[in-house]
Each structure stands twice: as structure tokens, then as C-alpha cells.
Amino acid sequence: MRVTNQMMSNRMMLNVNRNMARLNILGNQMATGKRISFPSDDPILAARVLKFRTSLRETEQWQRNVNQGISWMESTDAAFVGVREGIAGLRLEFQRAISAENRLPERQAIINVINEMKAQLGSSMNTSYAGRYVFSGFRTNHPPIFETNQPDLSFALTQTFRFSDIENTTVVQRINDRVTPKLGVNMLKLAYAGNIENLQITISGTPGWNGTITTFDDPSDHISNEDAYNPGPDDIHFIRETGQLILGSNVVEALRNGTMTASYVRNGFSEGELNPMIYFNSFDITNSPVMGNNVTDVAAALYAAFPTGHPIRTTDQWTALENAFGAWAADPTDEGLRTDFQNEFLSFLKTPTFTVGGTADPDISISLTEQRAMGINHFNNRPGDLTDQRLEFEFSFNTRIPINTLARDVLTDKLHADLRELIRFINGLEEMLSDPLALANDIRAQIASGALGPMTEEQIQQKVSDQIAAEHSAIDLAMQNRFNSMLGRIDVHNQGISRQDADLGSRMQRLDMIRQRLVYDRLNFRELISENEDIEYHEAAAFWAMARVAHEASLSTGARILQLTLADFIR
Amino acid sequence: MRSAFFEFNVARSAIFLARGGLDIVNHNIANAREDSSFSRQFIEQRAATPMNLRDGRGMIGTGVHVFGIGQHRNVFLDNKFWNENSTLGRFHMQSQQLRVLEMGLNELRGADAPNGGVSTVSGFGQFFTAMSTLSTHASDNTLRTSVIQSANTLTSFINNMSQTLRRQQIDANNEVSIIVGRINSLGNQIASLNEQITRTELTGSRANDLRDSRTNLINQLSRYVNVSVFETERNADFAAGMFPEPEQRNLSQPHFRVMINGQEFVSGRDVHLLETVARPPGSERNPTDVPGLFDIQFRGGRTFDMYSPMLRGQLRGILDIRDGNNGAHVFATRPPGGATFPSGARNEFNIITHPTITDAFQVTINSPVRDDLNQDGRISLFVNGRIIEVGYDSLVLNYDPDNPLDRDLWYYTLVIHDNDPGFPADFDWGAFPASVGRVEIGRTSDFKGIPHYKNQFNQLVRTFATAMNEGLNRNGQPIPGTVLRDDRDASHTDSGTVYDMFFLGARSGYHSDGRPIYASVNWRSQAFLNFTVNQHLAQNPGDLAVSSNNNEGESHNDVILGFLQVNNFSGLFAEGRLNDFLIAVSGELGVDVRQAMRFEENYIDIVQSVEIQRISVSGVDIGEETADMIRFQHIFQAAGQLINVIDQLYDMTINRLGNF
């Protein structure tokens, strides 16, 4: 084949060009430290690097979430320290209080300590992390325990009781100026005392219950009305002042195989009381026109909410509500009819399932517009609502762990009511006791009237002191009974708290393991990215040097070949 | 008896030869550095007709006869060069344009890349990172704002990318017109050279340099489009590239024809120029196309088969980039024995006489591959091997109202009218519509060009927006773990509405359920361009629906956890997770760029080696020319010396012989 200068120069230029391109690629790699700058440099490597980068970013986000979660749980754990101390302290105080040497004054002192501890438990429940109450479930902007008095709030709420919640206990009354202990009282305690209205009770299960509720309204009923603690076998006595429910024997039996639901309206809350929004199925009916006294306003609000009746609730419920309203509207001054209507309305609200064609549908609830028209601010009535408030974060691919513990599982409404009732009971005892002076005067009066035989002043004093001693021993017995049963109950409560504590601990441990794993993951991804994407400088430098040598060689040989022609050798 | 001064004539012919030879050497050397279209020339010489000595002692030479100037050329190599050069032109254009595309869509240039910047992968990553942070504090308006902000960054990045693709399509379209202009200019020059060459060669000489110029023009033309060249010649030797006897030369009547893409372009002095015609609205090949893209045709209306699979050169490369949709066009064939629609079988069609419109037919196309066609446009009917293109209108995408996103139940209905000018005058109406075997809307192109990437990103934003807004996957099924739109609680917004987080087009308002009313019926085709965050949410971050039941409390975050599931859902795309889709698109482009570059490299080598063969034949070598120069110099010197000697002989014979 004929070879010409032009062929050589063409070929050389192409080669030089390619050497330069290679130098360019290597130089670029050296300058950026990266093997590739465009996917086309190595599409497979690029895809891998992009995947690792995404994984790294996700891992870093999960690390942030884990840190958030752990901080949250650490705040919870710190609160648990207070709760554990409080419970242990309560137990100690109960044991001290049982001791026979301790009399009313000492026990009153103990009660003061217990009161403090109750407050401490409450403030533990109000622990917050970054401005959010950690024990409040999803309602992190509401404290589980009221921190201030809320005299204007009104809630309709529903509590449930089981057989184990019944305290078979002793009460002390003062009947006919006599301290009268009553043993074997079957008592349930509502979460609140006083200001309770529209109480409705049902018991599910067999045989169920179909008795009557008698309300004891007089504030002194629990002190002096003997009937208050003597319900008939089918009766429930509700003592409004103390929030006690005294159960008849058949009611207790009914509860053995069933669950009691007590719904009521509480008006006004004070500091240290449970926040019904956190604790119970509840509606905020503060200023709800439907709960008011004015028939016209009620009608307006109700029909604003349900202008054409209710599409789904044109059932017995809606009819019953309309009938009840009709009855009250016919006689607007009748308190009883009003209460009937209100009860009907509340059961209309709280019944979680409205039936469509006979089938219960949990999703059909009261709509926002309807709520607003009825003046209901907070509406909380989905089945399972009270167990669902698990705040979950994403800590890893498809791994979600609840990070919160709920106040109602730690400081339960039952524990709270137990303590409240205990404190009220002990603090109320002093006024049960007779005044020695009054007692002496009374005896003197009786002597003077001839009801009693003549006595010396010593005898009178002796009688007074005997009387007082008898009263004290009755009270001591009642107190001892109370503290004894509380000791048993605090252990039950403690079990629940320990369960929560252990649950929190195991979740923290799990999260800590995830945290450690994420640290390694992050490191691994960084290494993988670096391994795949980064150049090895010594290797790249070697390649670069080789490319440079080739480039120089091609230039120098090319230059020499091109320089020579035959003309150079002609004389 | 030979003539007097016969020897002078022999020497003179040698001197003329030497002069002529030196001229050619001079010319060759002068053009030695020119590009390869110059063919080295040589002097055509032979010994002059000898003279018979009458006394029977033999023949005596009469010197040298120069009869022409030839050139070293090999027509076969020229053809081979043009062929390979066209292919090179195609891959060169592809790799150049794809690299531009890759620069626009470079995923490696993410915010997490060392050199900063934004990419789709990092944009989505940041969005979901912000979302994950929000899940730890669902009520925090600052965190909501940061979610909306990152969504804003994401959507504007995608809008930007859409604009980039749009601009690149416009640029590619301009490039088409520039290439057509270049082709036309080359055609004009070739035609004019043809005329000069014909005129020059009528006299019998060969227009070497003009022919080289013409070859050069064809070299250039072959870069833009594939050419085939025919030189018809009455003289068979000429046609074969050989150089016949001078007596026959005046018989030469060359006729030079250039075909581009198999169609006649230059014929002798005539040239059939191309022209670009902007497509009328409705006849876009791809619904996402920029309006008014150019079609190419010959001036006067003769069609140029611009989508022929045989087309090569830069024109093919740029058309691939501009129009390549990876086969995503609507086509259907008639099901065996006809069918009742919708039946669920893919890509089947039926035509019936329209039930309500007179003189019209209703076409049903079942489960089409695209859902974004214009309401009117053009449809191709394949009738007995003939393609008839007619207009359609009233295109409707029908779907099952109970299952609106189940693509297997979608079908198009459209109307064609029998007075459409697209039907030829001799159309056989008797057999119609049974004679139609296949219909197509738009045309396919297997290449993954700009329309393909537009489709991919449209698919991306539609799927993503549907997943975020509705909680549904691309087939209308709920995404596991995601809260459906209907289950989201709007009770914290004043209007009681669940707002869509993302919009896919310009809105004219809202439906009562909060779903946007889109201004344009054809919004789907523009999803990529008009992908935005709901600005209402940007201004009122508190209106973001984060919970399925707001009564649960401010930290209830199940909707947000559901949003995170969108990112985790492995069935969101055929490619897998959202991220897998993005990486797949980026990888697909990377592989294509790499392939185009590799092809380009290969063809540079191939073209180079053909060129070297050509240079081997036609190229000038200085050494060789120097040798020739010296040879001719020696001839000149020797012949001059001979004249001297002969002069002395005559001087002796004429002037001195009598003077002894």
C-alpha cells in the first residue's frame, strides 16, 4: 500500500486527539476526585452511586428521627422515675398508716404527704418535651392533668368500669349524732366528684342490669343520710358530692360478667383533675347551645346541624331525640323533661355506630359541620380511640415504633379516683367526731331533762371520753380497712405502671439498637459511596502519568516523522 | 527520409513534457495539505508515433506525446466513504445532542454531590426528608412550611427541566432547518459544478479540479444525509473510471445524479431542493411536542421520506432526538372477527358507522398506551397496504366510572368524516370500514429522544401527584399504608376541604370536594410543565391535611406516615420505588449517551480507515513529488543538452563543412 505524508499526519492527529481526550478524562477525575461526572461515564456505577446516596440520605434522616424518639422517650423515662418514687412512697405511707399506733392526727399528716404525692404524680404526667406533653397521646398540646382551674369547661364523657374496680370498703357516717361505720359497701368511684350531671349507666353482658339510679344531691348526704350507702339489690346510688357509685348486690353480680359504662356531664374543672380530653371518650360541650336551657336556641342549633333530620340517623335514635325534644318544648320549664332530652342528645352523640340498613358502620360519625352547628368543640368518639393514640415515627425502612406512653395507662383514672376518695375520706373524718364540750353539754342537758340519771361531773367526763374513744376506735377501724384495701389496690396499680415502664424500657432498647445499627449503616453507605465513586489518587496518578507518556511519545515521534521529506536531502 | 531538424522536435517534446510535468508536480505540492478531496494529478504521456525508416532498418522514435492530465481516484472508495460518513454523521449528532440532554438531566449533580446543585433524585429526597421530619411533629407549622418549600423546590426544578427539554426540542427543530438549508446549498453548488464539468469535458479534457470540488461537496453532503451518486456516461470506459484514448474523448457526455435518502436530489444541472413546513396544530407526532415542528418535503410538494428507517446522516440524528418516542404512539389492529368494546384486550380497534352523526364513522381504540392525545388530530388508516391519513375529532377517553384509573378498561372513541380530503378520490367505499386493518395516531420512533424523556417525566409527576393527592397507585389501587384522600380529615381547615398538595395543570377553580378543576381539557399532556405545589398550602401550611381524624389530636400523623409510604412503595412504578424509577431514567439516558458516543468513536475509526485508503490512492506524497520533480528536471536538462548537441551538429554540418 502506498503511504503518504497526509495519511501519517491524519492518523497522528487522531491519535494525539484521543490521547488528549484520555488526559482530559483523567485530569477531570483528578480534579474532582470522582470517577464519574455524568451517568454516561459509567451508567451502572452512576445508578449504584445514586442508590447509595439516597440510602445515605434516608439513613441520616432516620438517625434524626431516632434521636428525636430517644429524647422523647428519655423525657418519658425521667417522668417514670417520679412515678415510681411516688408509687413506692404511697405504698410506704399506706403501710405506715395501717399501723395501729397511728391515730387520726398522724394519719391526717400522712394524708397530707399522700396529697403531695398525688400532685407529684400529676405533674409527672404533665412532663413535656420540646413544648409537647409526652403523655397526651396525639393531643400533645393538652396536658393530661389540668394545670389551672377551668371553671367554664363542660365535657360529656364516658367511663368504663370492670368488676375489679369495685372496692368493697367501709364508710363512716354520722347518723343521729353517732359515728356509724358501715362495712361491706361496694363502691365505684367516678373520675370526678361534684358538678356531675346527666349520669347514665349501662352494664353489658349477662345477666345485665335493669335497676334504677338514685342520685343523692344534698352535699351532706354522704355524711348523714343512711340510705345513701344502703342501695337495694338492683339499685345504684350516685352520691354527687363525692362521685361515688354505691352498688346493690345484684349490680355487683351483673358487673362480674360485664362492663359498666357510665356517661355523664362534668361542668367546670379544677387544677389537678384529669383532662377528660386525654383520658376519656368525651365531647367538649362548653357553651353548646344544645345543652342550654333555652328551647328556641336548642331547636335552632339542632336543626342547623341536621336540617332535614339525619340521612343515616333517621332511625329510632333520631326519632327518640325529636320526641324528647318535642316533649320538653311543650313544657319548657320542666327540668326533668330537659334532662331527658339532654340525656337523649348525649347518647345520640356518644353512640359510636349509627346503623345503615341494620349494619353498624364505625366510620359514620358526626361531621365537622354538624359538630360546629351543635357548638361542640372537641369531638372524640371513635371506637378504639382510646387505644390508638400511639405516636409512631419511622426509624428505618418500614420500621415504625410507637414512642409515647399514655397518661391513662400510667396514672389511671382509677388510681386517681382512689387517691382522691382516700384523701377526701380521711380529711372528712374529723368532722364526724363529736365535740367533747358539746357532748358534755348534751349529756348535762339530758340529765337536766331527766333523760339520764344524775351523774357526777367526773362521770360525765368519763362518759364523754368513752364516747370519743368509741368514735375513734370506729374511725380507726374504718381507716385501717381503707388503708388496707388501698395497699392491695396500689399493688394492682403498680403492676400496670411497671408494665408500662417495662414496655417503655424495651422500646428504648430497641430504638437504641436501631440507633447503633444506623451509625454502622451510615458508615457503610459512606464507604460504599466512596469506594464506588471516588478515585484512588495513586492509581489515577499512575494512569495519568502513563497517558502523558503516551501523549508525549505520539507528539515527538509524529513531529519527527512529519518533519522529514525527500526535499530535506536534495543538495 | 526524415525531415530536417527532426531531432529538435524530439528534444522539444521532451522539454514540453518536463515543463508540463513540473507544472503538475507544482500543483500537487501546492495542494499537498489540502483535505483529502484533492486527488493527485499526473501527466498522461506516451511515446509519440514512431517513424518508419524506409530502408527497412526499423522505426525511429519521435519523442513523447502528452495527451492529458489524469488524476488518481477510486470511485469505489468514494462511495464507501460517503456511506460510512453518513452513519458517522448520525451518531455524531446523536451523541452531541444526547450529551446536552444528559447535562440538563444529570442526576449525579445533586445537592448531595460534592459540587452541589439540584437533581430530581435529591429534590425528591429532600422532600421526603422534610416530610419525615414533619412526621415527628405533625402540628409544627415551621416543619410544614419546610415540606411545602422543599416541594416547591422540587416542582420548580421539574418545571425547569421541562423548559430545558422544550428548549432543546426547539433547538433541535432549528437544527433541522439549518441542516435542510445546508443540504439545499450543497445541492445548488453540485448542480452548478455539474454544468461547468459537462461544459469543460465536452472539449475532451477532464475537469480534474472541478471534479475534486464536487467530490468535496458530496463529502460534506454525506455528513448531513445519506447519499448515493450515479454518474452515467455514454462512454463505458469513462463510466468505469478509466481513461480512454484521446480520439474518443469528445464522445464523453457525463450525467451526474445525486440521490439523498434514496430520492433524487441533483440530476445534472437540476436540483430538487428541500423545504421545511411547520406542522399544523393537531398533527403532532407526539402530544407533548412543541407546536409547529418542521416536516421536510421537496419543494413543490413531493414527499421526503424523513422517517424512513434507511435515513442516515446528521438529519437522522437530529430527527431521532427531536421526535424519538420509544414506540409510545397509539396504534391498534382489528381483533379477529371484530369485537365488542370495551373488552380489555390491548391495542384493538373497531370502526362502525357513527350512530348519531351522518356521513361519519366512530373509531374505538381499546386500552391505548397513551392517555394524553389531543381532542382533534390526524389518524392513519392502513387500507390494503395503503396509508390514508385523515382528520379526527371528538376524541374522548372513556373509562369505567367506578374504576376510573384501571387502564385496562380505558378506550378512546373518535369520529372521522367521510368527506375528509384525506380519502383519495378512488377510495373503495364499498369495502370500508372492513378494509381497514390497522390504525395509528402519531408515529412511532424507536429512539429515546426528547419526547421519550418528556413522557417519562410526565409519567413521573402524574404518578407521584396521584399518589400524594389521592393515595392511589398508577392503576388506581390504594397504596398500602397510605391514607386515601377520602379518609383524610379536613376538619382543621376553615373550608373543611382536603387540598391537593400537587397540581398538574393550570386551574380554573376547585370542585366542592377540594379537587382542582383544570382549565384545559388537554392538561394531561402538559403535566410536566405545569407541575406545581398548591400555593394555598404554601401560604397556609396549617391547611395541610396530616391526619385521618383530627379529633385524635395535633400529633396524629398517619397521613404523613402514609406520604412516606409513597416513597417506600415498591409498586409505584414498573421499575419499582420512586427512586428506582428516577435512577432507571437517568441510567437509560446514560446508557444511550454512552452507546451513541461509542458508535461515534467506532465510526470515526471506520471513516478514518476508508479515508486512509482513499489518501493512499489519491493523496500527495512530498517525497514522491520531489522525486518526480527531479526526474522532470533531469529530463529537461538532458533534453536541453541534446538540443545543444544537435545544434552543434547542425552548426558543424551547415557552417563549417565547406570551410575546410
Confirm or reject contact between B75 and chain A (CB < 8 A): no
The beta-carbon neighbor of B107 closest among A39, A41, A142 is A39
Contact A44 B587 (CB under 8 A): yes
Query: How confident is the model at residue A551, as a pLDDT?
Result: 92
DSSP code of B576? B
Average pLDDT taken over every residue of chain B:
84
pLDDT band with cut points at 50, 70 and 90 for residue B289: confident
pLDDT band with cut points at 50, 70 and 90 for residue B494: low
Looking at the complex, report in whole angstroms how far the Cα of residue A562 sits from the nearest Cα belonging to chain B: 11
Tens digit of pLDDT for each residue in B556-599?
Answer: 888 888 899 888 888 888 888 899 999 999 999 999 999 999 99
Query: How confident is the model at residue B194, as a pLDDT?
Result: 93
Query: How confident is the model at residue A202, as a pLDDT?
Result: 86
A360 has pLDDT over 60: no
Confirm or reject contact between A526 and chain B (CB < 8 A): no
Query: How confident is the model at residue A72, as a pLDDT?
Result: 93
Q: How far apart are CA A425 and CA B117, in angstroms?
A: 71
Going from the C-alpha of B132 to that of each of A17, A88, A389, B59, B135, the distances in angstroms are 51, 40, 19, 108, 5
Give alpha helix (H) positions in A33-144.
Answer: 43-98, 104-125
Going from the C-alpha of B138 to that of each of A98, A304, A392, the distances in angstroms are 49, 33, 11
Query: How confident is the model at residue B37, as a pLDDT?
Result: 78
pLDDT band with cut points at 50, 70 and 90 for residue B339: low
Tens digit of pLDDT for each residue in B175-219?
Answer: 999 999 999 999 999 999 999 998 888 777 788 899 999 999 999
Query: How confident is the model at residue B523, as a pLDDT?
Result: 41
Looking at the complex, report in whole angstroms how far the Cα of residue A549 sits from the nearest Cα belonging to chain B: 23
- Kindly tell me the burial class for residue B301, based on how many C-beta atoms sit within 10 Å of its own C-beta (0-12, 13-18, 19 or more): exposed
A511 has pLDDT over 90: yes
B624 has pLDDT over 60: yes
Q: Which residue of A has its CA nearest to B113?
A: A53
Contact A138 B553 (CB under 8 A): yes
pLDDT band with cut points at 50, 70 and 90 for residue A15: confident
Which residue in this structure is represented by grid cell 348526704? A221
Return the number of CB contacts < 8 Å for A and B: 200
Going from the C-alpha of A15 to that of each of A10, A25, A564, B75, B621, the distances in angstroms are 9, 15, 20, 28, 21
Contacts of A142 in chain B (CB under 8 A): 553
Please identify among residues 2-41 of chain A the ones whose CB lies closer than 8 Å to any CB of chain B.
2-7, 10-11, 14, 32-34, 36-41
The beta-carbon neighbor of B125 closest among A57, A139, A382 is A57
B256 has pLDDT over 60: yes
Query: How confident is the model at residue B607, as a pLDDT?
Result: 93
pLDDT band with cut points at 50, 70 and 90 for residue B297: very high
Contact A140 B132 (CB under 8 A): no
3-class DSSP assignment, residue B227: strand
A570 has pLDDT over 60: yes
Looking at the complex, report in whole angstroms how far the Cα of residue A255 sits from the nearest Cα belonging to chain B: 30
A477 has pLDDT over 50: yes
Query: How confident is the model at residue B637, as a pLDDT?
Result: 94
Tens digit of pLDDT for each residue in A19-55?
Answer: 999 999 899 888 888 888 888 889 999 999 889 988 9
DSSP conformation letters of A419-446: HHHHHHHHHHHHHHSPPHHHHHHHHHHH
- Exposure letters B93-126 (e unless 16+ CB within 10 A, then b): bbbbbbbbbbebbbbbbbbbbeeeebbbbbbbbb
Query: How confident is the model at residue B222, as a pLDDT?
Result: 95
Query: How confident is the model at residue A64, as a pLDDT?
Result: 94
Q: How far apart are CA B332 and CA B368, in angstroms?
A: 8
Q: How far apart are CA A261 and CA A282, in angstroms?
A: 13
DSSP conformation letters of B190-217: HHHHHHHHHHHHHTT---HHHHHHHHHH
The single-letter code of the amino acid at B154 is: L
Which residue would you say has higher pLDDT here, B248 or A484? A484
Q: Is the peptide bond before A39 cis (omega within 30 degrees of 0)?
A: no
Please identify among residues 41-100 of chain A the ones whose CB lies closer than 8 Å to any CB of chain B.
41-44, 46-47, 49-51, 53-54, 56-58, 61-62, 64-65, 68-69
The beta-carbon neighbor of A51 closest among B555, B583, B627 is B583
Looking at the complex, report in whole angstroms how far the Cα of residue B542 sits from the nearest Cα belonging to chain A: 15
Average pLDDT rounded to a whole number, residues A213-219:
87
Please identify among residues 4-43 of chain B the ones whose CB lies closer than 8 Å to any CB of chain A.
32-33, 36
What count of Cα atoms within 13 Å lies in the side-chain half-sphere of residue A535? 21
B343 has pLDDT over 70: no
Looking at the complex, report in whole angstroms how far the Cα of residue A7 sits from the nearest Cα belonging to chain B: 6
Contacts of A140 in chain B (CB under 8 A): 139, 553-555
Residue among A286, A342, A290, A264 at smallest CA distance from A151: A286
A417 has pLDDT over 70: yes
3-class DSSP assignment, residue B399: coil
B122 has pLDDT over 60: yes
Contacts of B113 in chain A (CB under 8 A): 53
Contact B552 A32 (CB under 8 A): no
The share of chain B scoring above pLDDT 90, in percent, equals 32
What does pTM read for this prediction? Answer: 0.82
Query: How confident is the model at residue B236, as a pLDDT?
Result: 65
pLDDT band with cut points at 50, 70 and 90 for residue A359: very low
Query: How confident is the model at residue B313, as a pLDDT?
Result: 94
Query: How confident is the model at residue B521, as a pLDDT?
Result: 44
Contact B555 A3 (CB under 8 A): no
Confirm or reject contact between B616 and chain A (CB < 8 A): yes
Query: How confident is the model at residue A384, as a pLDDT?
Result: 42
Average pLDDT rounded to a whole number, residues A241-254:
90
In this structure, the dihedral spanned by the alpha carbons of residues B423, B424, B428 and B429, taken in order and rounded to 10 degrees, is 30
The beta-carbon neighbor of A6 closest among B604, B619, B627 is B619
Tens digit of pLDDT for each residue in A140-197?
Answer: 888 999 999 989 888 888 888 989 899 888 888 888 878 888 888 999 999 998 888 8
Contact B108 A50 (CB under 8 A): yes
What count of Cα atoms within 13 Å lies in the side-chain half-sphere of residue B234? 9
A427 has pLDDT over 70: yes
The beta-carbon neighbor of B496 closest among A1, A41, A368 is A368
Q: Which residue of B has its CA nearest to A59?
A: B129
Which residue in this structure is represented by grid cell 484520555? A22
Confirm or reject contact between B640 and chain A (CB < 8 A): no
The beta-carbon neighbor of B553 closest among A7, A56, A389 is A389
Contacts of A58 in chain B (CB under 8 A): 125, 128-129
User: Out of A90-104, A356-370, B349-363, B644-658, which region has the weakest mean confidence (pLDDT)?
Assistant: A356-370
The beta-carbon neighbor of A380 closest among B551, B564, B611 is B551
pLDDT band with cut points at 50, 70 and 90 for residue A351: low
Contact B615 A7 (CB under 8 A): yes
Q: Which helix (H) or strand (E) holds B13?
A: helix B6-30
Contact B622 A380 (CB under 8 A): no
Contacts of B38 in chain A (CB under 8 A): none
Confirm or reject contact between B367 and chain A (CB < 8 A): no
Confirm or reject contact between B623 and chain A (CB < 8 A): yes
B83 has pLDDT over 90: yes
How many helices and strands in chain A, by DSSP H and E?
15, 16
Contact B136 A68 (CB under 8 A): yes
